[in-house]
Structure 1
Amino acid sequence: MQIETAWVKPPLQVGGLDHLAVQAPCINIYGRMLPGITNVTDRARYYSFYPWLIWSFDKAGYHEFDDSFVERFRRADCLFCLIAQRHAAVCGGDADDHAAAMVGSDTLAAVARSLGDEGAIRLSDFSLREGATKRYFANKLGGLGQYYLGVLRELSILDGDSSSGVRYTRQVGAVIAERMDFSVDRQLFMSVVDADLVTASQLDELSSFCPCQLCSSPGEQEILSELFFVKNGFDESEALPRRRSLQLILHLAALLCANDAELSETHFRACTYAGSLPDGTPWDIPRSLSTTRERWAIYARNELLSLAVQGLFFALLDAYEASAIRLYSSADIADWFIEQPEVSEALDVLGAETTFSQCVSDSQSWLPELTGWQKPMHEVQLTERIATLTRARKSADNRRDIVEAALRTLIALASRNNSTERQYADLVFEEDYFGYYPINLESFARHSSGNWAPSKLRDVLRWLLINWGLEMHLRVALRKLRGQSQSTFRIRPSDRGMEVIAIPPAVHTRPRFNQAVRVLKDIGALERSAAGWQPSAFGKEQLELADAP
């Protein structure tokens, strides 16, 4: 019998995301609500610039997708960023209007600032994939390949991939490209790309390419607004949630501005959840947008559940790591944690021996009205506190406060819930979806009105630490290890017992709100006022589409 031995390389240890699979339903929901906008598609003008660039290459006779094409493309991508950075430096004001989220900014911002009035930049010093002085971006097709290609294909603006080549579509991409071409100097732009050298004066001459100039390109502004607001040739039913969500943001922006409140992701999440403004007054929403607000409220409710569960997981791992003890099972760790003084103190505040159902009834004495989300004991503020504390200096006091805030959040969610209703309303998930993501609003409703209800709060906490904490994490990490050959364990079994690898803080998902707001600013639907951002006249016109089919 022949026996062979060999070294087995350990799996790559990575940070990973969503260690408890609790954020997935949130991500699923906001993906449906803002299709065509992602967390990395920050600027509206890239939706026109990339098809324009490939269309322009085609016009210039560059048809072959070869190394020469790719290098020319990368020089153009660099140039686009340099134009925005130069315009920001020359014009002053808010640099974000010009250069926020421009591809390559981390490298090229300082280069543009140091240019002076007589300087010049060799584009290939930053665009070359091999041999660049300081490469602006690693991806073969720069920002297109890394961020925008998937969305532009989804919107039928571009076709192809980074291997076989990227093409503009004639029915959409070419039309957008032609609209942009009316307002920019294609000849100068292409001559700079071909020369591989740009001067300060040329960057100034090319300022019409800056993203802040989109509103000065009427045809381009019009077609991009039609795209984002799902009008005319872009009126596909599956894209309508994008229109409604953008309109909802515009509607909220007007009210927040009138109340001297910031248009922020935090306010959007809280206002949609509670249906009220920061001062507690109801958010009077047009009927056409009420369903959209309700769907975003479901997202926000799932987000609150996510923060509470993540907070408990953080506190457990933090205490276990600080103790330097080693235990061999999830149950043993949970039992040990519950006996810690900080956890006992948190439980005693709410009643460790009180049943969960009684805790829900007792919440009437401390839980604010749903609309009063600025009050400290509201679940919105409790979860913000969890997120803050998990990033603060680790201590027993912080762990106590996290556990208390997490339990209060779960009690608040149960108190406001009607378990007989569909927790996700008209949002339908694919079959067996929740088998992969067991921590969700449906399972929370079942447990809070079922097995948790007669159980003591202490026992509910133990159940959460084991089933929605340690065991869930091991299940998720093993699934990622099997499917991706990557180790995302934050705590894992070893010969010496369970050992902590890292302690993930409790984090929000990012529901594409900031990207949506940036798009609205870029296309001129939001304008700056003394009190903040508010809908422009153009933005108000888009709000009037609320009752359109």
Structure 2
Amino acid sequence: MSAELLPQWTEKVDKRGLDPLGMQNSGVVLYQSLLPGISNVTLRMRYYGYYCWVSETYARHGATNDFESWRNWIRRAEALYALVAARAEEGGVGGVDWANRRLQAGGRSIDFAAAASTDASEERYLRQSLGVFGGAYYTQMAEMGLFTQNRHGIQVATRDLGRRAAALFAEAIGSDLAKLLRKKIVDAQVSVRELDRLGPIAPSEIEGDSDERAFYETLLFATEPTPIPSGPSRGASLYLILETARAIEERPRPDDVRWHLFDPPQIALTQRLEDQRRHWELYHCQDLMQVASAGLLAWAIGILQEVDAGRTVGEIRAEVVERLTARDDQDLTSAWITLRNGVTPEEFGFQDAWDTLTSRRGSVEDKAVLAIRLMAALDQRVLTRPDLTETLLRDLPIRGGAHSLRTELEWLRKGEALPVIERIGDYIVERVVRRHSWVAMQKLRRQRDYTFLFETRDGRLVYLSGYQPVPTTPRLAPAIQFLEDIHLVDEDGLTRGGLQVLEAAL
């Protein structure tokens, strides 16, 4: 994968993420359980070994219990890694934009002490206190058993896995390079020539036949004798990514994995992998439902936008009913149960519906009608699949006021004998308009975030901002990158090593 296509770590922005109906969180909880130890901002595998080495080196050479000293050490280590990556033209590394600017400024030597400091008056490689380590990697490495905290609050590599990772990273780069790397972190100064010498520590430089690479594989797939409890779930998901790469014969994109795992495969998987595939199928159904509901929200907001003075809730419902009636669509005038039972899930265009609803093109009303059909198709898919129903009941428990695929299907089924037009009119009022007001109010109270898309004035709802349905991001992009980093996937799909790993699991 070319460096310019990799995500670039610059500044960690405080993203509020509207999630206007409070439905995305149910999907987030699901995918967190499917790929624990990897997040959407852990972009390169080798960071896991590098940070363990950084921790062990700090511990062995004059470490103190002063948190400021540890923070200074980790920030210098990150700034140097960014410079090495920028010099090697690699992405996915925190601070690489700063590093590119610094290299372009020229000079034989680069002093990065100020950039690695926490002084807000300086041009820092990253603003956050503990850099990428604290903002992205620590929690995931702790999930994998690589890191923990000591009694002074300083993050340290664990005695078993963490120290092993540190030793294997040191062995892979060699003692001379390890000494140079430590010295440059201490000095906070490096020459361009030294950056070239440090090139072997870059993210893509994991040797294919090294013990370091083998360790990362064992860690990711949780094949050690006593894996961390969450490890087997991650391993099963990674095997499914490899299976996708084999099927499509190219490096999979996240959407390739989503859709490949959406339907039961023609060639049966092992029970373990089939169970995991069904968890991914349910997650995708959940995401389809939240996108469909968001499509109805977008339509409701569009109806509000048409009138400067806004509309009452009753007027919104009346408009929805009137416009759906005017479409003269027999499916919409039938009962919900009739619409649902008329769907053949194997023939319904789930992916086409997904593409349309997440596109910025097209009429919000046409998309809303498609969203209604998608919801009926999801209802029928779950209803006719006992295995999927069982997974839904287990993976999406009722949690307080949280909304999910399960809560929405249960609500729709309670009124399944009612005409679709009437049921959707009520849905938009109760599950969309009022739901958004409640969710936005909770965010205002708890987080001081103002996320209202419309506001109340004299009993009328007045347009503030539109909304485009967006899917959740289930950690697949970094997971695929990790598999490429350890040479199991490349642009042609599975490598020979990847095929061996997959066949051992099937």
State if a TM-score over 0.5 links the two structures.
Answer: yes
2:301 pairs with 1:336: no
Pairwise CA distance, 1:491: 2.3
Distance in 1, matches of 2:289 and 2:18, equals 17
Pairwise CA distance, 1:507: 0.6
Q: Are the equivalent residues in 1 in contact too, given 2:454–2:463 (CA < 8 A)? A: yes
2:155 pairs with 1:169: no
Q: Are the equivalent residues in 2 in contact too, given 1:83–1:210 (CA < 8 A)? A: yes
From the superposition, tell whether residues 448 and 459 of structure 1 become closer, same or farther in structure 2 (CA, over 3 Å). Answer: same
Distance in 2, matches of 1:143 and 1:197, equals 20
From the superposition, tell whether residues 163 and 108 of structure 1 become closer, same or farther in structure 2 (CA, over 3 Å). Answer: farther
Q: Are the equivalent residues in 2 in contact too, given 1:383–1:405 (CA < 8 A)? A: no
From the superposition, tell whether residues 435 and 214 of structure 1 become closer, same or farther in structure 2 (CA, over 3 Å). Answer: same
Which runs of no fewer than 5 residues in structure 2 stay unpaired? Answer: 1-13
From the superposition, tell whether residues 422 and 447 of structure 1 become closer, same or farther in structure 2 (CA, over 3 Å). Answer: farther
2:278 pairs with 1:294: yes
Q: 1:159 is matched with which residue? A: 148
Pairwise CA distance, 1:378: 0.4
Aligned partner of 2:424: which letter? Answer: L
Deviations 1:90-140 (A, max 9, x none): xxxxxxxx32x211123223333x266x63322124222115642111121
Aligned partner of 1:178: which letter? Answer: A
Q: 2:29 is matched with which residue? A: 28
Aligned partner of 2:350: which letter? Answer: E
Q: Which moved more, 1:483-492 or 1:302-311?
A: 483-492
Equivalent residues in 2 for 1:29-428, closer than 5 Å: 29-88=30-89, 98-99=90-91, 101-112=92-103, 114=104, 119-130=108-119, 133-160=122-149, 164-184=153-173, 185-215=177-207, 218-257=210-249, 263-275=252-264, 282=266, 284-328=268-312, 330-340=313-323, 343-344=324-325, 347-349=327-329, 351-363=331-343, 370=346, 378-388=349-359, 391-392=360-361, 398-418=363-383, 421=386, 424-426=389-391
Q: Which moved more, 1:64-73 or 1:428-437?
A: 428-437
Q: Are the equivalent residues in 1 in contact too, given 2:65–2:152 (CA < 8 A)? A: no
Distance in 2, matches of 1:162 and 1:492, equals 48
| 3-state SS in 1 of match to 2:363 | helix
| 3-state SS in 1 of match to 2:460 | coil
Q: 1:438 is matched with which residue? A: 403
From the superposition, tell whether residues 15 and 173 of structure 1 become closer, same or farther in structure 2 (CA, over 3 Å). Answer: closer
Distance in 1, matches of 2:271 and 2:419, equals 43
Q: 2:463 is matched with which residue? A: 500
Distance in 1, matches of 2:309 and 2:328, equals 25
Pairwise CA distance, 1:195: 2.3
Q: Are the equivalent residues in 2 in contact too, given 1:327–1:498 (CA < 8 A)? A: yes
From the superposition, tell whether residues 474 and 131 of structure 1 become closer, same or farther in structure 2 (CA, over 3 Å). Answer: closer
Deviations 1:243-264 (A, max 9, x none): 111001001101101xxx6611
Aligned partner of 1:542: which letter? Answer: V
Q: Which moved more, 1:417-426 or 1:515-524?
A: 417-426
Pairwise CA distance, 1:361: 4.0
Deviations 1:283-315 (A, max 9, x none): 653444211111111111111111111111011
Deviations 1:208-247 (A, max 9, x none): 1101012357122122111111012452443211111100
| 3-state SS in 2 of match to 1:492 | strand
From the superposition, tell whether residues 450 and 497 of structure 1 become closer, same or farther in structure 2 (CA, over 3 Å). Answer: closer
Q: 1:512 is matched with which residue? A: 475
Aligned partner of 2:163: which letter? Answer: A
Equivalent residues in 2 for 1:454-493, closer than 5 Å: 454-493=417-456
From the superposition, tell whether residues 542 and 136 of structure 1 become closer, same or farther in structure 2 (CA, over 3 Å). Answer: same
Pairwise CA distance, 1:431: 10
Q: 1:535 is matched with which residue? A: 494
Distance in 2, matches of 1:209 and 1:160, equals 26
Q: 1:3 is matched with which residue? A: none
Q: Point out 4+ residue stretches in structure 1 off by more than 6 angstroms.
A: none
Distance in 2, matches of 1:335 and 1:71, equals 61
Q: Which moved more, 1:352-361 or 1:41-50?
A: 352-361
Distance in 1, matches of 2:228 and 2:74, equals 31
Pairwise CA distance, 1:63: 2.7
Q: 2:5 is matched with which residue? A: none
Distance in 2, matches of 1:428 and 1:161, equals 39
Q: Which moved more, 1:487-496 or 1:133-142?
A: 487-496
Distance in 2, matches of 1:15 and 1:183, equals 40
Q: Which moved more, 1:184-193 or 1:76-85?
A: 184-193
Distance in 2, matches of 1:513 and 1:424, equals 24
Pairwise CA distance, 1:444: 3.8
Distance in 2, matches of 1:405 and 1:188, equals 60
From the superposition, tell whether residues 165 and 361 of structure 1 become closer, same or farther in structure 2 (CA, over 3 Å). Answer: closer
Distance in 1, matches of 2:478 and 2:389, equals 25
From the superposition, tell whether residues 29 and 333 of structure 1 become closer, same or farther in structure 2 (CA, over 3 Å). Answer: same
From the superposition, tell whether residues 289 and 439 of structure 1 become closer, same or farther in structure 2 (CA, over 3 Å). Answer: closer
Aligned partner of 2:354: which letter? Answer: T
From the superposition, tell whether residues 429 and 354 of structure 1 become closer, same or farther in structure 2 (CA, over 3 Å). Answer: closer
Aligned partner of 2:181: which letter? Answer: F
Aligned partner of 2:414: which letter? Answer: G
Deviations 1:444-489 (A, max 9, x none): 44344431x2211211220220122011112222333333343332
From the superposition, tell whether residues 331 and 15 of structure 1 become closer, same or farther in structure 2 (CA, over 3 Å). Answer: farther
From the superposition, tell whether residues 234 and 181 of structure 1 become closer, same or farther in structure 2 (CA, over 3 Å). Answer: farther
Deviations 1:260-286 (A, max 9, x none): x6611212112211236xxxxx46534
From the superposition, tell whether residues 110 and 339 of structure 1 become closer, same or farther in structure 2 (CA, over 3 Å). Answer: farther
Distance in 2, matches of 1:299 and 1:337, equals 29
Q: Are the equivalent residues in 2 in contact too, given 1:313–1:465 (CA < 8 A)? A: yes
From the superposition, tell whether residues 31 and 432 of structure 1 become closer, same or farther in structure 2 (CA, over 3 Å). Answer: closer
From the superposition, tell whether residues 542 and 427 of structure 1 become closer, same or farther in structure 2 (CA, over 3 Å). Answer: farther
Q: Are the equivalent residues in 1 in contact too, given 2:44–2:482 (CA < 8 A)? A: yes
Distance in 2, matches of 1:264 and 1:536, equals 16
Distance in 1, matches of 2:199 and 2:151, equals 29
From the superposition, tell whether residues 322 and 122 of structure 1 become closer, same or farther in structure 2 (CA, over 3 Å). Answer: farther
Pairwise CA distance, 1:412: 1.8
Q: Between the two proteins, what is the percent identity of the paired residues?
A: 21
Which runs of no fewer than 5 residues in structure 1 stay unpaired? Answer: 1-12, 89-97, 277-281
| 3-state SS in 2 of match to 1:170 | coil
Q: Are the equivalent residues in 2 in contact too, given 1:125–1:135 (CA < 8 A)? A: yes
Q: Are the equivalent residues in 1 in contact too, given 2:84–2:196 (CA < 8 A)? A: yes
Q: 1:5 is matched with which residue? A: none
Pairwise CA distance, 1:499: 2.4
| 3-state SS in 1 of match to 2:129 | coil
